[in-house]
Amino acid sequence: MSPAEPGPRLVARLIDTLVVGLPVVLVARALLPRVTADIVASVGLAIAVIAYDTIQHGRWGRTLGKRLTGVQVVLAVEAGSSPVPEGDGAVPGFAVALLRATVYAAPIAARPVPILSVLAGIVWVAGVALVLRPPERMALHDRAARTMVVTFPAFRPGDRQRIS
């Protein structure tokens, strides 16, 4: 397993954001006044991302977007000067997945607060930009949770469930 390239990670996140975020934003905008909708949409999106990522990564190490782009979240261990995937690619588990998702989504929830918005935006962009730094390509949320996103086959035989 090797660290995933930034392209598939970005496409996976875009897919997941559409799956999780689009419904939250559409419902908030349809039901609430504009100013309130923006606040509710930001906080609601952060909560939805935390729930979605925690469940998906904690159980399978993959979200829908990651399955489609052939990447997976695994635990990382120190090996010399840089982290490497742990063993055979252990799934993070729910506690680690919750930490990872919270670090990723917290800046999204802070967006409506004027001063925090700028700071959160800088932290979020800088944290995600770490994906561009080889060899480990670990974003801030990966570093905080000691995880890595690695290249993995898009579909494994064990992923298919029998239809009875």
Question: Is 163 part of any domain?
Answer: no
Q: Which of the two residues, 24 and 90, has the higher pLDDT score?
A: 24
Question: Is 46 part of any domain?
Answer: yes
The pLDDT, as a whole number, for residue 82 is: 72
Question: Is 157 part of any domain?
Answer: no
The pLDDT, as a whole number, for residue 92 is: 93
The number of domains in the chain is 1
Lowest average pLDDT, out of 24-28, 38-42, 154-158, goes to 154-158
Question: Is 57 part of any domain?
Answer: yes
Question: Is 79 part of any domain?
Answer: yes
How big is the CA angle at 97 (ends 27 and 110), to the nearest 5 degrees?
50
Query: At 154, is the pLDDT very low, low, confident or very high (cuts 50, 70, 90)?
Result: low
Question: Is 161 part of any domain?
Answer: no
The pLDDT, as a whole number, for residue 108 is: 92
Measure the CA–CA gap between 147 and 113, rounded to whole angstroms: 29
Q: Tell me the average pLDDT of the chain.
A: 89
Question: Is 158 part of any domain?
Answer: no
The pLDDT, as a whole number, for residue 60 is: 95
On the question of pLDDT at 6 being above 90, the answer is: yes
Question: Is 11 part of any domain?
Answer: yes
Name the residue range of residue 108's domain.
6-150
Percent share of the chain, pLDDT over 70: 90
